[in-house]
Amino acid sequence: MSLSVEEEAALAIQPERDAYIAIYGESAVAEYDEVLDYLRDLEQERQEKAIQLPGYSLPQLPDTDVYERLLDAERNLASPRLLVEDYTAGVATYDDELLVIEGLAQVLFTTEHATGHMRLDAHSGLLISKEADYGTAAIGKILQQDTGQSLITPVGRQTSDANSASEHPIKDVMKTFIARDTAKMHISLHGAKRGRVANLTDDRGFDVFIGVGDNPTEETKDAADKLAKIAKNYGLIGGINQFFVTKEEGQPQYNEDGTLRRISFSAANPGTTRSFAQTEAERLGKPLITIQVELSDALRILPVDYDFHPGIDSQRRGTNLAYFFLQESISALNQKK
């Protein structure tokens, strides 16, 4: 079955079975349940597609040791045993320890959520511990090595959240980088759950979210377009400042007025490292591309005991795709127009 526009609209506005029946009458009970079954099946199919990455198959990619290198880097920087619990302490020997690698090239990668961290909850005023964006330390490190760019990554024991707190040691280091004449670009690498969709009936979720904030500069907009195009060439589903349906335990969330709740990974909040880089560049009166890239968990190294680990074949395919997508993006952005 597929949903009519009206049915989809009814579901988007009224999540409750009773409300649906109120619109369509008692005879619609069976139909409503069928719609729910349809949406559940679709979610399962999307989860499968997210890890199979159907736009590309591994034999088409060059035979590489990228996956093995990523595993090594992740162990060395974020999680020695590749276990979920190791991401809190990481490999740090003191609180808020960072690894800073200064490259000769024009791009600064930051992977501020590479290990577990604490975030101040705006509602409760309490510090809550947040899960790491698994695999981002590894991809940042390998890209740094292979392209000669700069990298700042936490290595564990993080007492706050660099992508939310107004002041953070990462931001101090970023300032120095941005002030350099050679600095052209800041790319903040993050993670998102796989299978996120803009509409309940989309047949594939997003692989890559590109965030440029609310008032991107022309060079940032151009760069984001390039990234989106390269993602597409690799068969990845990408979106710029893309909104998506929020879910909790697999269930779509609704606003108080009954409309489907959607948010976006636009990296517009002033606390993000992306916003910080943009503000700092504006203060110095210099052009700087500032982008946040969120990779689906199908594209990142995941802990071996992670509940949603998709298996080694999928991990190898996904992480290779992410690597080639980002490597080509850096190379395209470094070329003069």
Beta carbon of residue 191, minimum distance to Zn ion (angstroms, whole number): 6
Question: Residue 167: what are its φ and ψ, rounded to 5°?
Answer: -120, 140
Judged by CB, which is closer to Zn ion: 49, or 117? 117
Taking the complex as a whole, how short is the minimal distance between the CB of residue 182 and Zn ion, in angstroms? 27
Which span sits near Zn ion by CB under 5 A: 4-12, 102-110, 111-119, 172-180?
A: 111-119
One character per residue 48-77, x = contact with Zn ion (rule: CB under 5 A)? ------------------------------
Distance CA 142, CA 301 (A): 12
Q: Cβ of residue 134: shortest distance to Zn ion, in angstroms?
A: 10
Please, what is the minimum distance in Å from the beta carbon of residue 166 to Zn ion?
Answer: 17
Residues 41, 42, 44: CA angle, nearest 5 degrees? 65
Q: In angstroms, what CA-CA distances link 84 with 66, 143, 317?
A: 22, 23, 21
Amino acid at the residue 189 = L
Contacts of 189 (CB under 8 A, 6+ apart): 109, 110, 111, 133, 136, 139, 140, 292, 293, 295, 326
Number of residues lying near Zn ion (CB under 5 A): 3
What is the nearest approach in angstroms of Zn ion to the Cβ of residue 306? 16
- Give the nearer residue to Zn ion in terms of CB position, either 133 or 280: 133
CB 288 within 8 A of CB 178: yes
Burial status of residue 129 (CB atoms within 10 A of its CB: 0-12, 13-18, 19 or more): exposed
Task: CB nearer to Zn ion: give 189 or 333.
Answer: 189
Q: How far is the CB of 173 from Zn ion (least distance, A)?
A: 18
Stretch that binds Zn ion, among 23-31, 58-66, 128-136, 275-283 (CB under 5 A): 128-136
**Which member of 43, 86, 133, 297 binds Zn ion (CB under 5 A)?**
133
Sign of CA dihedral 29, 33, 39, 45: negative
Question: Which of 119, 168, 190, 274 forms a contact with Zn ion (CB under 5 A)?
Answer: 190
| The only residue of 49, 113, 117, 317 in contact with Zn ion, by rule CB under 5 A | 113
Chain residues in the site for Zn ion (CB under 5 A): 113, 133, 190
